[in-house]
């Protein structure tokens, strides 16, 4: 049998309950659940996911800005046409 060492792990009562719930759902002890979770955790994965999200936010922000600019231009064009029609109507009404 492989030698083992103890690692004291301090968690909040809420975290402990969450770990216990997840371990039970996985049919594992809390110790085995935490060991497995720690073994597969890779902080670099989070960085890559964040970078992908940032790129997506930048792209959608650019698209939304272009759509808003087009809508504002359309509104301005409409307002200009309405003003011209009102001016023509006022000139005919005199």
pLDDT of residue 50: 87
In a domain, 3, yes or no: no
Residue 53 maps to a domain: yes
Distance CA 21, CA 71 (A): 50
Q: Are 9 and 34 contacting, i.e. CB atoms less than 8 angstroms apart?
A: yes
**Do 26 and 33 contact (CB within 8 A), yes or no?**
yes
My answer on whether 91 and 47 are in the same domain is yes
pLDDT of residue 14: 96
CA-to-CA separations, 86 to 14, 83, 89, in angstroms, rounded:
67, 5, 5
Tally of domains within the chain: 2
Q: 41-82: per-residue pLDDT in tens?
A: 887 777 888 889 999 999 999 999 999 999 999 999 999 999
What residue numbers bound the domain in which 25 lies?
A: 11-41
Q: What is the dihedral of CA 88, 89, 91, 94, to 10 degrees?
A: 170
Examine the domain organization and report whether 25 and 66 are in the same domain. Answer: no
- Does some domain include residue 26? yes
54 and 77 co-located in one domain? yes
Tell me the per-residue pLDDT of 7-41, one tens digit each, with 9 for 90 and over.
999 999 999 999 999 999 999 999 999 999 999 88
């Amino acid at each position: 049998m492989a030698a083992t060492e103890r690692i004291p792990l301090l968690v909040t009562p809420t975290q402990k309950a969450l770990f216990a719930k997840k371990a039970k759902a996985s049919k594992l002890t809390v110790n085995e659940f935490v060991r497995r979770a720690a073994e597969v955790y890779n902080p670099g994965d989070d960085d890559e996911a964040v970078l992908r999200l940032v790129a997506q936010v930048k792209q959608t922000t650019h698209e939304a800005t272009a759509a808003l600019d087009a809508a504002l231009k359309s509104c301005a064009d409409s307002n200009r046409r309405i003003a011209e029609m009102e001016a023509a109507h006022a000139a005919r009404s005199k």
